[in-house]
Amino acid sequence: MENTTKILFPYDQSLVKELPLLDHNAIETILNTAESLFNDQSNWIAPFKRIEILEKAASIMNERSEELIHLAISEGAKPYKDSKAEILRAIKGVKLATEHISQLKGEQIPMGLTEASLKRIAFTTREPIGVVAAVSAFNHPLNLAVHQIATAIAAGCPVIFKPSSNTPLSGLALAAILKEAGLPEGWLQVILCDNEMAEKLVTDSRVHFLTFIGSAKVGWHLKSKLPPGTRCALEHGGAAPVIVESDADFSEMIPDLVKGGFYHAGQVCVSVQKVYVNEEICDRFIQQFSEQTNKLIVGNPFEETTDVGPLITPKEVNRVEEWVNEAVEEGAKLITGGKRISDTCFEPTILFNPSEKSKVSTNEIFGPIVCIYPFTNRDEAIKKANALEVHFQAAVFTKNIDAALETSKKLNATAVMINDNTAFRVDWMPFGGRDSSGLGMGGISYTINEMTREKLIVFKSKSL
């Protein structure tokens, strides 16, 4: 009997689609196809052709944006207004990848600087790195697919894409659009398989580059299994600390942090999670932050008024509920929320001063929970913010330029937002975690560069 995976609408667990899983033989065929395409340079797609394909794909995506929005909601359940923003970002991402193709260039290396290097001219070129294996996450099903697929195509690499088993439909839709746009057969292969088959795929010696978005546990495990010479980029999660000083502008900050904390029910790798607030303004902060949080509408993500949708599975609701109950038992004050609304939805929740040992303090929550901690000394708050092994994006709210710059310097993060929430991102900026939060830097142009490699050519001639 054929193994299948069921895609369920996270809000009510209704069946959206059932798709077959690939077996061992199919994986072997897929790897051979990708390797054969790359090894024969006559198959390579010329840069002008890559530009044509991606430009057409962006155009088709734009025409079908409403269809793509509904598909993303049906599998990932991000609310309509946020899914719409994701699809617009994905279209922009394809355009960014297209534009960067013209920037894939080398440089001249000076010769004649020593007598031994006379009569030579040297330059570098950039070539595709080879077969790319891409493993993706559930929380941005179309935009993450663009970040891993459009970049590989722009770089000139055959790509094998494994979407999350919860949200494969957007990636499959992108593959169909790229095929319609003229991408030759075999250059993009989307696979649905179990974890064992996925590991076999990405750790195969025929793969030259692994791009992985998901949990640190899985990412570092896969990296440890990679054969010699295979490069990789890993994007995991963080706890997104925020430092709030006493001079922060409440009118700007409160809506920003509410959005950053509860966007997509907190299922974002840079979602606001730990907010350290100067105790001089802590009561005021809690009052205004909870007032705004209580106004959020939780419900069906297809409703345009919904602010917060369900978590991806009922299992995640159970986990979040356990973590919140544990935090309260261990001394946290429950400001608002704290209860499940249904099997799939959880109230936007604010916890005050949970123990530094509680799971909500030590782990990435990936749910609609924000923790607030008071501080008197900013250096102590920064020390606590830096205490975990995960370091991704962070933020500071203050109108004091010296405090902003000092805090930005001391926070252990790859990016620090000043007077903006930790979840801010545009797709042309560098984006990634450090330490256990990841390896390498994402962002469309950065990823394309990672998927290429330099070749040095030295030309010797007596005529030079």
304 part of the active site: no
CA distance linking residue 221 with residue 72, whole number of Å: 29
Q: At what angle do helices 169-180 and 143-155 cross, to 10 degrees?
A: 40
Best CA proximity match to 382, nearest among 355, 358, 409, 418: 409
Our measurement of the distance from residue 34's CA atom to the centroid of its chain's CA atoms, rounded to an integer in Å, reads 25
Exposed / middle / buried, residue 454 (Cβ in 10 Å: 0-12, 13-18, 19+)? exposed
295 DSSP 8-state letter: T
Selected catalytic residue, list 269, 282, 345, 371: 269
35 part of the active site: no
Q: 231: which strand partners?
A: 209
CA distance linking residue 139 with residue 175, whole number of Å: 18
Token code pair at residue 170: 């957007």
Token code pair at residue 88: 């617009």
Best CA proximity match to 354, nearest among 338, 376, 366: 338
Selected catalytic residue, list 35, 86, 235, 245: 235
**Degrees, nearest 5: CA angle 85-264-273:** 125
Q: How many Cα neighbours within 13 Å face the side chain of 134?
A: 31
Which residues carry out catalysis?
A: 235, 269
